[in-house]
Structure 1
Amino acid sequence: MSKTPLWLKILAQGSAGLVLAFLCLPILAVIPASFNKASFIALPPLAYSSRWYEAFIADAEWRNALLASLHVAVIATLVAVVFGTAAAMGLHRADGRWRSLLTGLFLAPMIVPVIVTAVAVYRSALDVGLSGTPVGLGLAHALLALPFVVINVGIALRGVEENWLRAAAGLGAGPWTIFRTVTLPNITPGIVAGAIFSFITSFDEVVVAVFLAGYANKTLPVKIWESIRLEFTPVVAVAATLMIILAVVLFALAQFLTKSAGRRTA
């Protein structure tokens, strides 16, 4: 088998680097913009200052929006992880025909346009009195995050051998003990990944939040959207920078927890 030429490896790595730069640099541009001293966004900033971070912290609306986003994201993550894990385990045991049908149903929120989901969820939330509440928005975000948990846990379940479950049952373990001691340790990386994606999906979501978030429960993306419409100051870049930092921290935490869970399982 011939080895890949060095020039081809360099070309492939260089092309991948250019694609990543094309995707990431426009996003990362908000970080220097958040340190702009002027009252408008300019790249590169003519002078640097932390005044807009101080303005973000001093403004009660921005602080409340950040806390509302965290609150809703926690609700959405907990609901999505519980129901998504149960759904993934059910799909893993389902017959081939039913599995395909049910998989398509659970993955539908990734396919259906978000605006369609937002209108449907908004009408349903009005009927049950959950419109404008953190619980209602958290449940709506859990619906959008559910496919990520189903996919990640489903992949993790493929690594669980049926012989392990039979051996545990043969030793007298009940269904709960088998799940706790055999299945759960092996699917923990999938659960962690699904939880991280669920949290970020909820924290960054704006379309459904525009429909369901009331004035008292305005999330950070909604506040950013409103600020862009009214006044486009660098405080918007500060909020976007905080969202980027949170996403990076969560992905790093997911990598750490996944590796730790793998070592414990081994």
Structure 2
Amino acid sequence: MGADPGHPPARAGCVMSWRKGLIPAIPALLFLALFFLLPVAEMLMGSFQNASGELSLGNFERIASTPVYARVLGITFWISALTALLSVLLAYPVAYLLTRLSPMGRERWLLWIMLPFWTSYLVKTYAWMLLLSRKGLLTTLAADVLDNPSGLVPALSGVLIGMVHSMLPLAVITLLPIMRSIDQRLAPAAQTLGASGSMSFFSIFLPLSAPGIAAAGLLVFITSLGFFIVPALLGSPREMMVAQLVISSVLDLFDMNFAGALSVVLLACSLVVFVIYDRIAGLSSLGGEAPKERQSGRGLQILIWLGHRFSGKGKAPRRSGDSALLTGYSVLLVMLLILPVLVVVPLAFTSSPFIAFPPKLFSLKWFDEFFTSAVWQAALLRSLGVGVATALLALVLGFGATLALTRVSAGWRKGLFALFIAPLIVPRIVIALGLLYLFSRLGLAGKDIGLVLGHTVLALPYVVVTLSAAFKQYDWRLDDAARILGAGAFTRLRTVTLPLMSASLVSAFLLAFITSFDDLTIAIFVSGGINTTLPKQMWDSIQLALTPTLAAVSTTLLVFIVLFAVIAQWVSRRSNSKRQGL
């Protein structure tokens, strides 16, 4: 009997030996061992050394005895927790709406949601600086109503706005696979038995989507721990986060051992959160699989109980009204994701030498300055080249790793998946510092190959998660049919697997490219002082002044991202057409 659709051969009784099943994952395992595990281990060892290279706990004693470090750690976890909470709460209704749409409608919505997610963190933060500063657009508009209004930056409110804006799309796309795996017939069945619409939601859909809530909260929280762009540009010293201290320790104080100790504390706390998450939701939820036999957390059980209390038994569901409200909310939220970034566009065409609202249109001189500047163009070309190389390497390694996950037993699968997504769990600043330890000895600091290797470490988990979700939808009976007809492993891969997964492969490639193209953390430590990347050049320029040239750079990047999104959608439609043809 053939394998069921969406289940790998290993689950259908054709379990390979673990040695043979691991073969496709060997390149990814070696890569992570050399450029992830080894650098992090070296960084851990360095944190237990003093300036003379002797073993010492002095760095940790300094952290424990200095109140300012405890305060920064507390602020880091508080801001990250608030960001995760707000992002998941705001994203949940949108993800729920997407589960109720047709594939074509869901694809269109996801395009608009992903556009701001793919947009550079620096571009988004720059946009919020223009909107929320004392002379920004929102403050200017508020002046018509309020006397002498103050801006929302630098302040905690500005930091939260910027971080939630950046993380909300990640929460949506993390929630969606779990929600889509829920049997949509359960809610109508409950309503047939007399349950109201709200009761069926709180009793059935919400508990079943709990792993998605946990996965989204974890990814947003861990990602937020390593943030430094948003708090540095939108916050005050009161909102300083640990990543800013690490960068300052390396670049200003030249104390890598103390920076390593700070990173170890951050890493330890992240691992504690990760272990708690695995106990509650399970690692499989990160790949879009709803774990079985796991109970909801206490907070979620309280939420379900409240739903029972206030949903009203026996009331007729108001599906049309609820649907309109849900759609209206989602439209408003997507507009709030997109519009702040679009504010940058008219400023790129201003004729004024400084930023002001409303801009004095129309001039192309800032684009001319960007495209004719040797510094800007060198940074752009370097980012493009490194991004493409990173995406190709991450895609090759990630595909082999994910293919191996479909061939090994469940016990091996969990451990391997944990290793492959480990760079996603470890704060990015920790990885960057570890690579600085390694590359400084190997002579790779300041070279493109160092950037490609570092960015591939960051991009590989996104490729694995994306392709894992795709393999869960893969119909392995087609592979079995090709094998029965005499096709070898390579032929089946070339003629069946790769064409059917082309849309997911393109999505994984784009995610890897954007991860590299948008990275600033690795670039600060590894890119070198002269040959920089585009995000590093933007970072240096933003800290000096908010100029129209930055608006021109940001607008160019927006156009670039839109083109990528259009290409991805076109490939997705072609892939769906091929799948339907089969």
* Other-structure match for 1:260: 574
Distance 1:138 1:4 in 2: 53
Identity of aligned residues (%): 37
- In the alignment, structure 1 residue 115 sits paired with structure 2 residue 429: yes
CA displacement at 1:235 relative to structure 2: 0.5
CA contact (8 A) 1:189 1:261 kept: yes
For residues 409 and 441 of structure 2, what CA distance do their matches in structure 1 show? 36
Counterpart in the other structure of 2:402: 88
Matches within 5 A, 1:169-180: 169-180=483-494
Check conservation: 2:501, 2:575, Cα contact below 8 A.
Answer: no
Letter in 1 for 2:409: D
> Matched residues in 2 for 1:6 and 1:264: separation?
35
**SS of aligned partner of 1:41:** coil
Aligned to 2:538: 224
- CA distance, structure 2, for counterparts of residue 167 and residue 8 of structure 1: 45
Match of 1:50 in 2: 364
Aligned partner (choices 196, 201, 225) of residue 510 of structure 2: 196
Cα distance in 2, alignment partners of residues 81 and 44 from structure 1? 44
Q: How many residues are aligned here?
A: 266
Is 1:34 aligned to 2:348, yes or no?
yes
Listed as ranges, the matches of 1:1-266 within 5 Å are: 4-265=318-579, 266=581
CA deviations 1:167-197 (Å, max 9, x no partner) are 2222222111121122111221111110011
| Higher CA-based Rg | 2
Quote the Cα distance in structure 2 between the aligned partners of 1:13 and 1:48: 37
Which deviates more from structure 2 when the two are superposed, residues 220-229 or residues 149-158?
149-158
**Counterpart contact for 2:420–2:460, Cα < 8 Å:** yes
Is the CA contact (8 Å cut-off) linking 1:149 and 1:190 kept in structure 2?
A: no
CA–CA distance in structure 2, aligned partners of residues 55 and 222 of structure 1: 18
* Superposed displacement of residue 4, structure 1: 4.8
Match of 2:168 in 1: none
**Structure 2: stretches of 5+ with no match in the other structure:** 1-187, 189-315
CA distance in 2 between counterparts of 1:111 and 1:246 reads: 29
User: Which of structure 1's runs of 4+ aligned residues deviate more than 6 A?
Assistant: none
Whole-angstrom CA distance in 1 between matches of 2:411 and 2:394: 25
Equivalent-residue separation in structure 1 for 2:496 and 2:320 (angstroms): 45
Q: Deviations over 1:134-185 (max 9, x none)?
A: 1110111111111121122222222333332232222222111121122111
How has the CA–CA distance of structure 1 residues 74 and 3 changed in structure 2, closer, same or farther, with 3 Å as cutoff?
A: same
Q: For residue 491 of structure 2, give the secondary structure of its aligned residue in structure 1.
A: helix
Structure-2 separation of matches of 1:111 and 1:36: 42
Q: Deviations over 1:62-102 (max 9, x none)?
A: 11111111011011011111001111111122221221222
Distance in 1 (CA, whole Å) between partners of 2:406 and 2:442 is 33
Cα distance in structure 1, aligned partners of 2:557 and 2:431 = 24
The separation in 1 between residues aligned to 2:553 and 2:321, in whole angstroms, is 42
* Structure 2: distance between partners of 1:47 and 1:246: 23
Q: CA deviation at 1:248?
A: 1.5
Q: TM-score, structure 1 length as denominator?
A: 0.93
Unaligned runs of 5+ in 1: none
Q: CA deviation at 1:246?
A: 1.3
Contact 2:500 2:578 in 1 (8 A): no
- Residues 162, 5 of structure 1: CA spacing in aligned structure 2 closer, same or farther, 3 A cutoff? closer
Distance 1:165 1:70 in 2: 36
Structure-2 separation of matches of 1:235 and 1:228 = 10
Q: Which amino acid aligns with 1:197?
A: L
